[in-house]
Structure formats: C-alpha cells, structure tokens
Structure 1
Amino acid sequence: MSGHSKWANIKHRKAAQDSKKGNERQKLIKMIIIAAKEGGGDPGMNVRLKAALDRARAASVPNDTITRAIKRGTGELEGVSYEELTYEGYGIDGVAIICESLTDNRNRTTPEIRAILERNGGSMGTAGSVAWNFERKGSITIEGAVDEDQLMEDAIDAGADDVAVNEEGATVTTDPSAMMDIREALEKKGYKVTDTENIFVPKTTVTISDAEKARKMLKLFDLLDSHDDVQNVYANFEFTDEVNEAIANDD
C-alpha cells in the first residue's frame, strides 16, 4: 500500500479536465447506453450500469434522460447504436497510450484519433502493442478531507489494493470485481464516495524531464480526452519534480 500515487495525480488532473468539458454529459449518456446494452437495465444486477448511473447523477444528468438512455441500451427505445473501440498508441518518448471510445461510426473515429496522435508527436499502435503494460483496476473516488492513516486501515480491511490522497480527497484502488463491495464498506464508514470506475493503471512509467516535452504530452493527452467519441484516456507518463513545478507555473 502507498499513500501517494503519481498515476493518481495524472488521473486527478484528467478529472479536473473532464469537469470543464461541454460534452461530458453526452459521454455519460453513452456510458449508460452501452452498459445497459451489455449487461441489462437493472443496476442491481449490472455493476457497470450502477457505476455509470452514479457518475451521471453526480453530474446532474436528469432522471428522464437517464431512463431513456437505459431503454435505448436494452432496446426498448430505438436510437443510435454505439460500439466500444480501444485504441493503443504512443506519445512523446515512447509513452504508452490507451484510448477507450464509444462511437456510432468507426470509419470517422479511427482516422480522427490517428490524426490527433500523428499531429502531436505520437503514433497509432496495433492491438496489444501497449496493453501489456497496463492492468485493469477499480477506482473509488472519495471527496473531502480524510485521515490518511485511518482511510488506509479502513480500505485494507475492506480488501482494497492501494490508497492515494490528494488535495480534494482520495482515490482507492481495488480489484475490479470487488469495487462495489468496497465502495459500500467505505460509505458505511462515513466516507463520501463520488465516483467508481474501472481504469487502466500502468505497470511501468516513462519519466519526462523536459518541460517542453511535458507540455506537448499534456496537449496530446487533452486533445484525445476532449474528442467527442473518447470516454477515457490512459498513459504511463510521469514528470520530474522540476517539470511539475514548471507546469504548475504555467497555470
């Protein structure tokens, strides 16, 4: 177990970017549709749908919109059909990138993702080219000040793998299959859980020590993340303390 995680910092920064996106609500609706399509419309029996609903409600998506999205996913209502596509590629200095998308037109999305990569110092990879360097984890986001030692003890007791504390709260990392049970256990302890999701966590990282390269990597990350069809972007970069300070001064 570790109290701080550089990957959590990247993920936290991504969450801050997500909150500013005008298309975030549409992305959440797509998540509900595909979750209902794959696992049915009952969140009590569909963990993925329950997590998507929690995120949508936290983002104030109206209940009638959520209901329609579920019905579209289960086929009760006609609508656009989405498919899940995962793109793998490389960024600056060989940084590994995984990009998850939901699209109604792969012939549009694929060349657009390739163009973003190639125009910003990256390249598209083949299936499996970088996935080996990531593992699936469940991620539980806790909002508000926490006692790090107490949270770590509570998380371990509940079966979690890791805890990372940040300025806004904490992120608890778990086995995906145990995520919802651990969430329930932490909520019973009084923690305010605001999000649960399955994520990719890198096994190894690439350290970027040049501030200009770091800025380019962040630009690439944000361009991918802002694409209408992209749901999540994961990468295995980290910055030196000097670069982090330089980037912070940019803000």
Structure 2
Amino acid sequence: MKNKKILIVEDEQIIAENLRLILNEYGYNFVDVAMDVEETEAFFKNTSYDLVLMDINLGETSIIDGIDLIKILLQEHSFVYIYVTANADKKTIDKAKKTSPVGYIIKPFIKTSIYANVEMALSTLNKQQVFNHSYKGRKQQILISDIAYIAADGAYIKIITLDNKTHFSRKSLLDFYDEFPEMFIRVHKSNLINKHHLQSYSSQIVKVNNEDIPLGRMYKQNFLDQIKDLSFL
C-alpha cells in the first residue's frame, strides 16, 4: 500500500508539512500538498489520488469548507478520505458524517493516529464493491463507486462511469438495483442513478455527472425520501 497516492489539503503550511513528513516516515512517498480549493482541483486534473487528508476549515478567504470540497471532488473522482480538523462540535461532525469519510482525526494529532487511520483507510480500497460482467466475450470489472448512472437500452443496460465511458451489460435495471440497493435510486423506468453523484434536481430532472436525467412522476416520492439525508451542493 506504500505506493498509494495521497493528497493533503491543509491551509496551514506547518501542519501540512508535518503531515507530509509523518507519511514519508511511514513509507508513503507519493504525497502532494494543496493549500486551497484551487490547488486541490489543479492537482486532481493531473493525478488520480487514492486517499485525501482533508482539513475542514480551509481559511477565512475560502468560500467553501473541506466537506463541501469533498462533495465536489466526488462528483468526478473516486477516492477515500479522512478529515483532519480542529472542529469537534456536533454540527460539524453531523455534516461530515453524511459524506461517509473513512476517518476523522482531531487536531492536535499524534503521528501514530495518522498512521493508523491512513492504514485503515487504504485497506478499504481493496474491499470496494465491484461489478464483474462479460460483454461480447470481454470480461469487465467496474468499481460501483465509479458508476454515475445506468440506462436501459433494449436488451442491455448502459453503465456510464464518471469518466464518461459507456459499458454494456445484459443485466436488467431491476437486477442491478437489487444487487446494490444502498448505492442507487430508481428515478425513471429506464434509469438508475448513483445517489452519491447527484449534483442537483428539479421537479422533472436530476443532474448526475453533468447529464440531465428525467425524474419520472411515479418515482419522485421515493427519490425524495432517499435523498433526505444526503448533503450536496
């Protein structure tokens, strides 16, 4: 796991460098540091990270906090993340837990706490749910967390991933939903969406991965019920 790519997002340089040194000491050598939202987005344009250590308070000049930044990044990227923060109040923790982090470290921290949380977080990468199937003799494996939405297409379903690639499968929408009910919402007779990649919605449309998908009238109430506890921009 020492070859995993880690990004530290921390607006205080001394803390950021301390985290980097701790990770280097434990053998993690691919570690980048971003000081703000713009640097974070720039790093993600060039690198696919396995783990992000995210500060929640990104400074007085930042218009969003680290939790909101995580939600933005997850719309286009797949990674695990740990919050590293001085915020231990109930309101912040309640907001953070809605994004399902794999860890929450309170500052000031000790290096063994960083090591333990990072090791546990990276171990989950090997346990992520995958969808295995064959299409025209080719075996394919897709991370469930990378799926944006699924659309019925005659005898097949089209699986659209966050990188806008389309995969085909003979599995039905219903079979797929039954296998992964905690991840997907039926929004139309022909569409399932990954609820963790929901960007916005209106009375007739949901937006996922920058695509407008129809929200069927008979599916609307169930959709609203399932997104009650979600927090997104």
Q: If each structure's helix is expressed as a fraction of its own residues, which one has the higher value?
A: 1
> What TM-score comes out, normalization by structure 1 length?
0.23
Greater relative CO, 1 or 2 (CA 8 Å, sep 6+) = 1
